[in-house]
Structure 1
């Protein structure tokens, strides 16, 4: 059952709307309407109409009519599986245009003739949409009823199939041989009894093989020794290959010499040089140090693609028509087909969009995202009238540039310092005890969460903040020791190149094998009691498909409600970035909400590591931002504490558009 259906002009004027439930009617008139959220968070980003947008339990589908500037939107409960929504939208679009095209064309022309949006809104009130679209409600009800009846018949036919399969199964006498593996027809739906019989048969088969997958015989017990053996196994025929022995240490009755003691000294306080001091120059790259603003704040450098070129000039050059005296590139040769003054169609744009897709994929953009971006560009161009090769070339490239800019432009603030200061000032103005600003770093294994957490810590220390690092990775061996080394190094670097920052950074750890959510809670309370400004929570790496570990991470989020959840990902991944982010974001929202303590928190931002290894293939930034709609706060680009950069949208667009 639908909740809301509406037909609107792209300027925001609602031509027709229907609410099917009281809650949907009340929601449609509020700012939290799924249609308003769709416009703010999906359409502005240039998302394609074949996607499904989800918000607050609603699923929203939409389609465009570009020449008349119309948007058809359908909203329904996300838990429902309505298979007819796409067909319904296509039918509504066709019928609405067929019956009311003259009126719609006159309406759009009148809006274009006005000078301002305010005048357009006032003029829209003079149009009597109820009278103009008289009879549309009857047509809509008839179309919707037809699709719902068809879907109901399909559901009934799907339900009859398991019943028929169960009857056929009961009419067939069961086999006495349970050691053979049951055959399963993938095209036939099986009921719960059949599944239970299959599982039992498989258990019997494995029990006959001694519980070993892939074994070829049962267990044999040696009567003399009482030990079990498996006939035919490779372990009996082939002796195990001995691993290479480690170098043994020499132990004796005499006391070890000083040289022998030095070789056995593995303590973390071992001197790094002849003077017994840490080599600070190896921890800080002077060339990558950030800059100080007029008020003394430390800002990390911007990442620039081609430091010798201005980003705006580079984008302008990328949008210029190709020089006819030079050999045309692949995209340029396809642009040459679009000549003359004409209205662009999907067939005209298909070769150009295919070339765009290949170009984006070469820039490490995930394949699905490249397809959706190109489809979005095509949707904005279909129905537009262009003339001449140069005009078409510029129009298509400009549409791509605008689409990339909309996707990459942050929808929320990326200024962490401002957020931290706002929380501190609000606590000072109230009577409550000041809580530290907490940031949780999550991600898969081996992407560099702990290393880049320490880079963020260095940036915070340089801004005069006291930072507490919570070692909540209680699984990986050496994780706590790694953070301990980082804290020791950061304590010796000082603030603004002078003094000792030992009191500004501290490690909170409770060892291994403990509950990470409990350690994070204790760390936040410790930071509150000891006047720390920020708590950085390091978590264990986990694969996005590991449900138990994702539930544990969601528990940490639900219990502690961190101010920021930052996903740490690699710049090297393409399609994998989409899978990782989608499943992390969905698991956090679902599991933290299901626990009852959280509010369905998802990813708040990204930190992309190994950025210096991809050159201009920065498509991972586009893929990650497109999937979550959240900004990339920092990128890591080196091995020292100063190797942290912030992204500018123009620079990323420049790198993606470059040949």
Structure 2
């Protein structure tokens, strides 16, 4: 049963709802659809599934882009209503006839909707009946054929087994003598133990197999000889064990005892002051004039342009087109998709973006002196800016002050895969916070990787900030909890928690990370990812979020709140990973790492990224 059908404008003004249905929706499916799908440029999808306590809805929608209207239908997911798409199309067609921008109420549309709904349901029932009528006929014919084949098989078997009529007699002709002769030939070939070339056409030659085996054996012998020689070389080049001292070796090579810091007292450490962080510098963007050829996106080379010819395309750009159709948009969207993929955007996301832009432009009127390619590019640029712009403000400095007033430290957890630069960029964030007069403590919760604690300790010495560590092979969740308690006692404003790098498919390590986040409830969970990755960024972020949700024991699990993009200075104009990560997670890019020094930390320039992707 259809739960609800709404018509509203792009600005959010509800024009009409179905009073006949009058079902109270559980949760807020319409608001979630607008926030998570329509505003996130996912409107090219066919449907959206919404889960709420006690209800599971499916939402379908369509647009009237020329009038700026949205039509949304909501129904129970378990029902699988087949007439919804047809109903939405008819409602859009009929409502557009009576729509007036000055009107806000359309009570006279109730009767029209009732008729349209009955018509859509009747069409679906007729379609179901036609399918049901076709199926029995096919099944009956199939059954008759199977029965006939079975009886024929029995007759052939009996005749063949008797040995009287299976030769060239009349019975063999009636029941398919050729078939029985073939069966005979096959049986004789098997019983004699020889290969019958007449009956086994295309069979494998055994002699060839023996030759291949002999060749393979020779190759195997040569390979084993080579391996033996390699082993001998390795034996010769064996490195001697290093002798550290005369004392007996310890069972574990763990020098991360907290008391070991006393050994550094004699070293004069100068605080690393490399100037102002790039986070506090406003970057001036140069407005470069783009050539007309870049904006055209090769539309003149497309098949559609060749079909229409020069005069028709020029006349269309001068006089304008009545309504844009999907076929008009496809060449420009295809060129845009290829361009986005060359800039390291994941293929799946580039395709969804193009579908969303097509849905927002289909049916619109093309303005005079405007080409389709430039219209599509402008719509895509607007969509990219909308995606990359944070949906909610995350001001760390403001949130730190708010937490300080409550008497607790602000906790940031850095997570990500192996080798992306979590510890280095954690130190950059600490340097930026120190320049804003914020006291920082580091928590060494990477108790898995060798050298991780020493690396963080080096950064702490250079920045002259405290570090909380418990060595290796400890529970990182407990270490983080004790670090937060220590920061509360010492009055530190921020705790930066370093975690071990882990692949998104490593369930034991993902379970440990989920426990750390659940036990300590940090204020911010930062995913540290490389700007070099393309399609892998989608897999990493989606699986991190999925694992954090699945392995959490809370009903409202914590997911990734923000992204720190590293190695941004190594990618030139291939900045698509930023778009892929934001699109798949909905979390904003809060920091961009662009070098080796502590000052090399930037904000993401959204407009610059959008222009670079389309350049």
User: Do both share a fold (TM > 0.5)?
Assistant: yes
- Shift of the alpha carbon at 1:624? 0.9
Q: Name the SS for the 1:601 alignment partner.
A: coil
Task: Render the CA deviation track for 1:200-255: whole Å, top value 9, x for unaligned.
Answer: xxxxxxxxxxxxxxxxxxxxxxxxxxxxxxxxx979x94845363335557999xx
**Aligned with 1:637 (options 566, 587, 594):** 594
Moved more, 328-337 or 615-624: 328-337
Q: Which residue of 2 aligns with 1:611?
A: 568
Q: Which residue of 1 aligns with 2:426?
A: 453
- Shift of the alpha carbon at 1:130? 2.4
Matched, 1:404 2:384: yes
Matched, 1:106 2:98: yes
2:379 & 2:3 partners in 1: Cα distance?
A: 34
How many residues are treated as equivalent by the alignment? 493
1:151 & 1:536 partners in 2: Cα distance?
A: 63
Q: Which residue of 1 aligns with 2:473?
A: 513
Residue 150 and residue 56 in structure 1: after superposition, are their counterparts in 2 closer, same or farther (change >3 A)? farther
Task: Render the CA deviation track for 1:466-505: whole Å, top value 9, x for unaligned.
Answer: 11111111111111111111101111xxxxxxxxxxxxx2
**Aligned with 1:524 (options 472, 484, 491):** 484
Assess if the C-alpha contact under 8 Å between 1:610 and 1:637 holds in 2. yes
Task: Render the CA deviation track for 1:121-142: whole Å, top value 9, x for unaligned.
Answer: xx31364332442334545666
Task: Render the CA deviation track for 1:407-436: whole Å, top value 9, x for unaligned.
Answer: 1111011321111112223x1xxxxxx221
Q: Which residue of 1 aligns with 2:277?
A: 290
Matched, 1:565 2:565: no
Residue 563 and residue 269 in structure 1: after superposition, are their counterparts in 2 closer, same or farther (change >3 A)? same
Alignment of 1:454-603 (within 5 A): 454-491=427-464, 505-592=465-552, 595=553, 597=554, 599-603=556-560
Q: Which residue of 2 aligns with 1:183?
A: none
Q: Which residue of 1 aligns with 2:298?
A: 330
Matched, 1:130 2:110: yes
Q: Which residue of 2 aligns with 1:357?
A: 337
**Aligned with 1:246 (options 239, 256, 259):** 239
Q: Name the SS for the 2:466 alignment partner.
A: strand
Structure with more helix by fraction: 2
- Shift of the alpha carbon at 1:38? 1.5
**Aligned with 1:366 (options 346, 364, 384):** 346
Assess if the C-alpha contact under 8 Å between 1:66 and 1:383 holds in 2. yes
Q: Which residue of 2 aligns with 1:90?
A: 85
Q: Which residue of 1 aligns with 2:359?
A: 379
Residue 251 and residue 419 in structure 1: after superposition, are their counterparts in 2 closer, same or farther (change >3 A)? closer
**Aligned with 1:392 (options 364, 372, 393):** 372
Assess if the C-alpha contact under 8 Å between 2:415 and 2:499 holds in 1. yes
Residue 522 and residue 414 in structure 1: after superposition, are their counterparts in 2 closer, same or farther (change >3 A)? same
Q: Which residue of 2 aligns with 1:10?
A: 10
Residue 328 and residue 136 in structure 1: after superposition, are their counterparts in 2 closer, same or farther (change >3 A)? closer
Unaligned segments of structure 2, at least 5 residues: 133-222, 247-259, 307-312
Unaligned segments of structure 1, at least 5 residues: 115-122, 153-232, 254-266, 292-298, 428-433, 492-504
Q: Which residue of 2 aligns with 1:192?
A: none
Task: Render the CA deviation track for 1:150-174: whole Å, top value 9, x for unaligned.
Answer: 999xxxxxxxxxxxxxxxxxxxxxx
Residue 26 and residue 50 in structure 1: after superposition, are their counterparts in 2 closer, same or farther (change >3 A)? closer
Assess if the C-alpha contact under 8 Å between 2:63 and 2:360 holds in 1. no
Assess if the C-alpha contact under 8 Å between 2:415 and 2:527 holds in 1. yes
1:506 & 1:445 partners in 2: Cα distance?
A: 25
- Shift of the alpha carbon at 1:36? 1.1
Larger radius of gyration: 2
Assess if the C-alpha contact under 8 Å between 1:284 and 1:642 holds in 2. no
Residue 351 and residue 278 in structure 1: after superposition, are their counterparts in 2 closer, same or farther (change >3 A)? same
- Shift of the alpha carbon at 1:579? 0.9
2:129 & 2:529 partners in 1: Cα distance?
A: 46
1:328 & 1:9 partners in 2: Cα distance?
A: 32
- Shift of the alpha carbon at 1:394? 3.3
What TM-score, normalized by structure 1, do the two folds share? 0.66
Assess if the C-alpha contact under 8 Å between 2:443 and 2:468 holds in 1. yes
